[in-house]
A and B are shown apart, each in its own frame.
Chain A
């Protein structure tokens, strides 16, 4: 496998920034001068800097210093597996909270995350941590502060039962 550091990950931010800058300009094109000015100057700067960066990357590629790959971005498969599983779980947590409600989604999320990182052998600890977290968060956010998180039947029943 190629041992040289890969360039592709480094390209994401400049390409993304140029794309975002172009989108930004497209939304302000018809606005009065004062609403436009910052976007134009900053996007201009982004384009110049990205261009400088692309030239540098091209040189590094040609001199063989770096390769056109993802090398160096990902670490060992076990850690990466955990990292992206946690991310997936986080997205699921946010997506499912409106359906499952506060308590159930939070409990499952914490439980799942502890198990992903700590391993299945920590099931008891995981149950303990997720129970304590859920109770603490419910007490603070729902009972005391009444933040308007999506509540399911479970949440409402418990809240009514406490009050």
Chain B
């Protein structure tokens, strides 16, 4: 009981830091929305600041920035098809089609509601079950991760359904592009065209913004604006009350958001995994449980809600191994660890006994941050959605310039800007000739992760594929995967039979 009262007290304590959270949320939204920036590199830029303030302030600031940047990622993904991170790539699948249909505001509200809801559920879940969750890593090893990523990879086949051969070919091309660079075991370079910049694999940000944003820009030149002409009359409704109606509507998907947020937490806990896997697995789950799976990809709000809830679940999940074991689960967590170390905080199990205000405080702070986002973010939805009706002569140069500069930022190579253009051309060609860009992208994002876990599992077994079926948790996941693949098939067969008998 003692712990419960400590945690309750911590909520009030975290709330007293609202003056740190509000600027951090605003900043986080902005950096999340700029391609190439992320919470991790923003925290690095602000190191002098975080190192000079009190440790609690620093921690709350970083946490709020991290959460808010996850939410911010969704904004350009929906409005102009720019996914700044692998996690946001799943949001574009339905978010951008909604924007094209004049429903940008609806998509943004779903994105914000799902993010905030997912964030709140995620932190509550972690706070309630932290001791249990810190054990998750003991059960999800390379083998189990292979199956989890397969959930995401099956999306290739699903997306390819309209033209199976072309879709699968696109997915395979994506996987092969993802396999460029040194291998995970021997560090031997593969298919790098002799270019140093490709040794570490194809950089994700240039590939993402090239395939999605730049190829879209080439289409926009012709079309004039994001919203298609026939939907121009439905675009704008600038009353706050309408936003409220949309919020109520979106809360109808509470079960989906809860479920996908929990997927996010669990995947976030596993070191090295993260938002990209979680978002695609969540998207696949949403589609699978939907009554209208075939509408996914054409602009259904559940397709926005699921990956966004998962992304924000990951935020809490990543911090579990950091706080509980002292090993960061992702790049943002790694930077946070550096800052905490500079402040003389040793992470690990003892922290929960020695400094519970820090160990639990990071999660209560995250909870409060998400609450504060409600008044901060919803009013923005109505203004931001206007971007979709901006004329091409404004949008095209702005998107091109910002995405190209954004491609440069993470690594500082001019090469990456050229690479973004090359991927833009590939994406344009694929769109024009009916090969699915999304299938290529899923291959590029999930392929290297898949290879890494698969290689590791096979190395542990010395090449015996039997290892993939050697663990109980893994086998349960396999069964789920098979069900996931078979159920839609049976459902469509039954629907067909109903139609025939009717």
A-side residues, CB < 8 A to B, are: 9-10, 12-14, 17, 20-21, 23-24, 27-28, 31-35, 37-39, 42-43, 45-46, 49-50, 52-53, 56, 73, 75, 79, 82-83, 86-87, 90-91, 93-94, 97-98, 106, 109-110, 113-114, 117-118, 122, 125-126, 129-130, 133, 137, 140-141, 144-145, 147-150
CB distance from B153 to the nearest CB of A (A): 12
**Residue in chain B with minimal CB distance to A74:** B432
User: What is the bound-complex CA distance between A93 and B217, given in angstroms?
Assistant: 16
Q: Does B235 contact A (CB under 8 A)?
A: no
Give 29 pairs: A residue, B residue, CB < 8 Å, sorted on A: A12-B429, A13-B170, A13-B173, A27-B189, A27-B192, A28-B191, A34-B183, A34-B186, A35-B185, A37-B455, A38-B179, A39-B191, A42-B172, A42-B179, A43-B176, A49-B168, A73-B432, A79-B221, A83-B221, A86-B400, A94-B417, A97-B414, A106-B401, A114-B397, A118-B393, A122-B393, A129-B394, A129-B397, A140-B34
Known: A49-B169, A53-B165. A9 touches B433 (CB 8 A): yes
> Which one, B80-88, B403-411, B475-483, is touching chain A?
B403-411
Q: B185, A12: Cβ atoms under 8 Å? A: no
B-side residues, CB < 8 A to A, are: 34, 45, 165-166, 168-170, 172-173, 175-177, 179-180, 183, 185-186, 188-192, 217-218, 221-222, 391-394, 396-398, 400-402, 404-405, 408-409, 412, 414, 417-418, 421, 425, 429-430, 432-435, 451, 454-455, 458-459, 463
> Which of these, B188, B414, B417, contacts A35 with CB under 8 Å?
B188
Please, which residues of chain B bring their CB within 8 A of the CB of A83? 218, 221-222
CB distance from B352 to the nearest CB of A (A): 36
Q: A110, B221: Cβ atoms under 8 Å? A: no
Please, which residues of chain A bring their CB within 8 A of the CB of B451? 38
Please, which residues of chain A bring their CB within 8 A of the CB of B189? 27
User: What is the bound-complex CA distance between A129 and B34, given in angstroms?
Assistant: 18
Known: A24-B176, A94-B417. A31 touches B190 (CB 8 A): yes
Interface of A is mostly: helix
CB-CB nearest 10 A-B residue pairs = A118-B393, A35-B183, A113-B397, A117-B393, A49-B169, A24-B191, A79-B222, A110-B397, A10-B433, A17-B173
Q: A86, B396: Cβ atoms under 8 Å? A: yes
Please, which residues of chain A bring their CB within 8 A of the CB of B433? 9-10, 12-13, 73
CB distance from B335 to the nearest CB of A (A): 15
User: What is the bound-complex CA distance between A147 and B434, given in angstroms?
Assistant: 38
Q: A110, B393: Cβ atoms under 8 Å? A: no
User: What is the bound-complex CA distance between A13 and B426, given in angstroms?
Assistant: 8
Q: B414, A98: Cβ atoms under 8 Å? A: yes
Q: A10, B434: Cβ atoms under 8 Å? A: yes
Q: A20, B432: Cβ atoms under 8 Å? A: no
Please, which residues of chain B bring their CB within 8 A of the CB of A14? 169
Q: B173, A46: Cβ atoms under 8 Å? A: yes
Q: A17, B169: Cβ atoms under 8 Å? A: yes
Please, which residues of chain A bring their CB within 8 A of the CB of B188? 28, 31-32, 35
Known: A35-B183, A91-B421, A147-B408. A49 touches B429 (CB 8 A): no
Please, which residues of chain B bring their CB within 8 A of the CB of A147? 405, 408-409, 412
User: What is the bound-complex CA distance between A145 and B418, given in angstroms?
Assistant: 22
Q: A39, B176: Cβ atoms under 8 Å? A: yes
**Residue in chain B with minimal CB distance to A126:** B393
CB distance from A127 to the nearest CB of B (A): 12
CB distance from A106 to the nearest CB of B (A): 6
Known: A35-B186, A46-B172, A141-B405. A24 touches B432 (CB 8 A): no
User: What is the bound-complex CA distance between A94 and B218, given in angstroms?
Assistant: 17
User: What is the bound-complex CA distance between A64 and B166, given in angstroms?
Assistant: 21
> Which of these, A13, A32, A90, A109, contacts B435 with CB under 8 Å?
A13
Q: B455, A34: Cβ atoms under 8 Å? A: yes
CB distance from A111 to the nearest CB of B (A): 8
Since A27-B192, A49-B168 are in contact, a sample of 16 more A-B pairs with Cβ atoms closer than 8 Å, ordered by chain A residue number, is A17-B176, A32-B185, A34-B455, A35-B190, A39-B191, A42-B172, A50-B169, A53-B166, A79-B221, A79-B222, A117-B393, A117-B396, A129-B398, A145-B45, A147-B408, A147-B409
Please, which residues of chain B bring their CB within 8 A of the CB of A87? 218, 421, 425
